[in-house]
Chains A and B, each alone.
Chain A
Amino acid sequence: MDSLLVLLKKNLRQYVMVIALATTMIVFGVMTGGIFFRPLNLTNLVLQNSYVLILAVGMLLCTLTGNVDLSVGSVVCFVGAICGVMMCDPPMGLGWNPIAAMFVAILIGAAIGAWQGFWIAFVRVPPFIATLAGMLVFRGLGQVILQGQTKAPFPKMFQVIASGYIPDIVDGFRIGETSLHLLTIIIGLLIVAFIVISEIHKRKGQKSYGFDVLPVGIWIAKVAFIAVVLMAFTVVFALYRGFPNILILLGILVMGYHFVTTRTVQGRHVYALGGNIKAAKLSGIKTEWVMFWIYTNMAILSALAAMIFAARLNAATPKAGQNFEMDAIAACYVGGSAVSGGVGTVIGAVVGGLFIGVLNNGMSIIGISTDWQQAIKGFVLLSAVAFDLYSKARSSK
């Protein structure tokens, strides 16, 4: 059985990321005199970063193939513009039903993705070039549609998806003086229960095959730690207005993509392609179609992010989505994706995205100017990737 140290070393990259995230949060918590951990601020943190996290999930698949998608920011602008025209400023005054408009927006995202996927997968235009072209094309078309103007306001129903909170089952539930969002607490408890059960299940399975597992004490400590942290955040949200709608959507997306990448045939195909495309192809994987679907998926998620961004801003603007692709790419690489492809996890990309989001938020509160924020984020990205390469070079010796 491997010693604890060896096990830690094996998963060094993951632990480093989580520890860095936790440390940064605690440091900001202290530096801001607790403002950082206030329910309002944490809620804002989620709302501000939700679209980048959604994009990071899609971008992870691109980085797994050793590529990126540069067009997502422009697709956000383009789809946002279409939403704006459909809902705020419909031609001939025929306002669209928000549900129908959202459905159309997703379809448009899929069409954009299929367009880019086609060039990448079947014409073999390098993804960098194809999506660079997409970046120019869709930013341009977005501006054409908006004619340089901002479209606002959106219908209430549309705004709610981005800025609303889940309803409570009991009105005005209180414990003593403090009001508490009951449904949020219940959901939090369910999630914790689910994680504990699946961890037990996983451990049992690993043990029955004689694989190395953490010593039981440390394992219990780890699971307990996760449970406590999750419950702590749940309570903080419950103290404000409960879970934001976006957080629920984000949670479902992250769990869904985590499942697809780790447990399904399609997910395995993506990793195999990223690890060795020739071997994957010679093993019968239809590598062209895998590439096609990855880029189609990316644009669908971009359309989703576009709606959330537009709804939150309550406007469709020609500048929407600028540099979103860079934030998403940075999230993936900070979160442990390998530049050469084949390595990376959905959870890692989300942690990486959160890390950058926490840096943004914390630095804003303590009054560091945005110019410096930009520069600091750049250094964080560089050191994350350099650390990755360094530790890989050392372990391969």
Chain B
Amino acid sequence: MTDNGILLEMKNITKTFPGVKALDNVNLQVKRKEVHALVGENGAGKSTLMEVLSGVYPTGEYEGEILFDGKRCAFSDIRHSEKAGIVIIHQELALSPYLSIAENMFIGDERARYNIINWDKTREDAMTFMKKVGLNENPNTPVNKLGVGKQQMVEIAKALAKNARILILDEPTSALNEKDSEHLLDILRELRDEHDISSVLISHKLNEVAAVADSITILRDGKTIETIDVDRGRGAAAISEDRIIKGMVGREITDRFPKRTNTTGDVIFEVREWTVYNPDNPDRKKLDNINITVKAGEVVGLAGLVGAGRTEFATSIFGRYYGENISGKTFINGKEANLGTISRAIDHGVAYVTENRKEFGLVLIQTIKENTTLAKLKKIARWNIINEHEEIRSAEVFRQRLNIKTPSILQLAGNLSGGNQQKVVLSKWLFSDPRILILDEPTRGIDVGAKYEIYTIINGLAAQGMACLLISSEMPEIIGMCDRIYVMSEGRITAELPGKTATQEEIMRHILSN
């Protein structure tokens, strides 16, 4: 067997979902004894690529070939790829919280004979692997008693117990503090140098990537942009950071956004010193001292990666749907406004067009008409009795105004296409007569034509003096639509940029600089 030093090779991988090409001829080479970083924006195809590798999408559901150790692989499921030595550790840890470290480590691979578990052997083996990752705990400890950093170590030990030869880590440090992150990177180096285990590190933290990676592959829009070999001898890190950012975002901004001539007025909406704690982990700040303003007729963007806290910011403002221990103040037209419950926020003229319309925005088993009026039924009711004629008239008005393509407003929301569903959600919130409109990923998963229509609607609203706050992970959308852009990263505002001159590189730099 010829050994060219390459452990894993993915060649010309193409994976299509209905209507989308998630991966387009992607190539990836991981050498023996290396830490390979995989970077790219949300939706660039990193996770899909790793799912192809680990057999989540079995052979036949994608095109291209995978060579592991020089041999062609055709994995049928995750267990199959794990047997070969490819183990993936997901961002959300897959541990059973009330089971012990040792039990978790051998789930599905119990140390047993005739189905009866040998607990002494289980603990002994657990200790061996725990030592390898430097986890100094009693193997009988339930994992929910461990911190996130140590839970991550349990995951890695578990992977080693499966005889992993290549570890895939999907944003392993996103929930870790600095010290735990350092430790994790040390472990990766140690595995590389002493145990011949390579790893693929998916990360948004460029300092981390620079510190540990031997080579870096950049993905953008489902394509490999380039693979950079990091020369450890020189201080290459600082130079390549610009190159990485450029690779991640360097796409053309085509003319996909309707023109708008806006005249902004006074500040309508202001949030001051907004701090929110994570309800799942009350010691952690999810949002830290956020200050923003939105003027009448202005479209303000909130850029950032998934998980930066943008949705949490919107939902904590909007009736405190999210968050614990919220502090800070909200002002409308210069006066302090209490938006403590959702109905109060609606009464104050705040509307929040939710992300994920199917889960949070619509009652899919109800009609367009019923969805349209849901947020402000009292507008068409007297003594709590709904005026049906009024309701039909209102729903018809919005159907025509937003050009919802449907034979009738009595159509169930669940039967509409994504773009039309989004318009129904918009109708619902416009029906509530807002002055401040927060839009959370309003164009996700809808086709280009519908996107353009939604942009036109937003521009029209701004022209009428609406204050719009646009949350989006699509950078061209933020740049194309917004007058002003706030960049958010890990719960903080890290920059405020004018929309006219902002570039994708600049935004990405502020996202990653945290």
Contacts and interface: CB of A to CB of B under 8 A. Distances in A.
Contact of A283 (B375, B378, B381): B375
Interface string B369-412: 01000111110010011101100100010000000000010100
23 contacts: A205-B388, A209-B392, A211-B410, A212-B408, A265-B377, A265-B381, A265-B386, A268-B370, A271-B370, A272-B366, A272-B370, A276-B359, A278-B359, A280-B363, A281-B342, A282-B342, A282-B361, A283-B374, A283-B428, A284-B319, A284-B375, A342-B365, A343-B365
B352 interface: yes
A286 B345 CA distance: 13
A263 interface: yes
Nearest to A202: B388
B31 to A, nearest CB: 46
A153 interface: no
Contacts of B354: 279, 282
B363 A275 contact: yes
A272 B374 contact: yes
Interface in B417-431: 428
Interface-central residue, A205, A272, A285, by most chain B CB under 10 Å? A272
A342 B363 contact: yes
B193 to A, nearest CB: 48
Contacts of B410: 211
Interface residues of B, number: 35
Contact of A275 (B364, B381, B396): B364
Interface string B10-30: 000000000000000000000
B219 interface: no
Nearest to B357: A279
A278 B381 CA distance: 23
A264 interface: yes
A266 interface: yes
B428 A276 contact: no
A58 to B, nearest CB: 19
A93 to B, nearest CB: 46
A284 B363 contact: no
Contact of A211 (B377, B381, B408): B408
B380 to A, nearest CB: 9
B384 A265 contact: yes
A205 B386 CA distance: 15
Given A284-B341, A284-B376, A285-B343, 12 more contacts: A263-B386, A264-B381, A268-B377, A268-B386, A276-B362, A279-B359, A279-B361, A279-B374, A282-B360, A283-B342, A283-B375, A343-B365
B22 to A, nearest CB: 26
B217 to A, nearest CB: 38
Nearest to A266: B384
A388 B389 CA distance: 31
B126 interface: no
Interface size on A, as a range, is 20 to 34
A212 B374 CA distance: 24
Contacts of A342: 363, 365-366
A263 B363 CA distance: 18
Contacts of A209: 392, 396
Interface-central residue, A268, A269, A271, A285, by most chain B CB under 10 Å? A268
A263 B362 contact: no
B346 A279 contact: no
Given A263-B385, A268-B377, A282-B352, A275 B342 contact: no
B452 interface: no
Contacts, number: 81
Interface string A44-62: 0000000000000000000
B389 A286 contact: no
B375 A264 contact: no
A169 to B, nearest CB: 33
Contacts of B345: 284
A266 B384 CA distance: 7
Contacts of A278: 359-360
B321 interface: yes
Contacts of A343: 365
Contact of B360 (A205, A272, A279): A279
A276 B318 CA distance: 18
A282 B358 CA distance: 13
A160 B339 CA distance: 54
A176 to B, nearest CB: 47
Contacts of B361: 279, 282
Nearest to A10: B410
Contact of A265 (B342, B366, B378, B388): B378
B321 A281 contact: yes
A282 B428 CA distance: 11
A257 to B, nearest CB: 14
Contacts of A268: 370, 374, 377, 386
A342 B370 CA distance: 13
A280 B370 CA distance: 12
Contacts of B363: 271-272, 275-276, 279-280, 342
B364 A276 contact: yes
Interface-central residue, A264, A271, A279, A285, by most chain B CB under 10 Å? A279
Interface in A106-122: none
A284 B386 contact: no
A269 B341 CA distance: 17
Interface-central residue, A278, A286, A343, by most chain B CB under 10 Å? A278
Given A263-B386, A268-B377, A282-B352, A275 B343 contact: no
Interface in A169-220: 205, 209, 211-212
Interface-central residue, B318, B361, B374, B410, by most chain A CB under 10 Å? B374
Interface in A281-303: 281-286
A278 B363 CA distance: 9
Contacts of A263: 385-386, 388
Nearest to B347: A284
A280 B374 contact: yes
B205 to A, nearest CB: 32
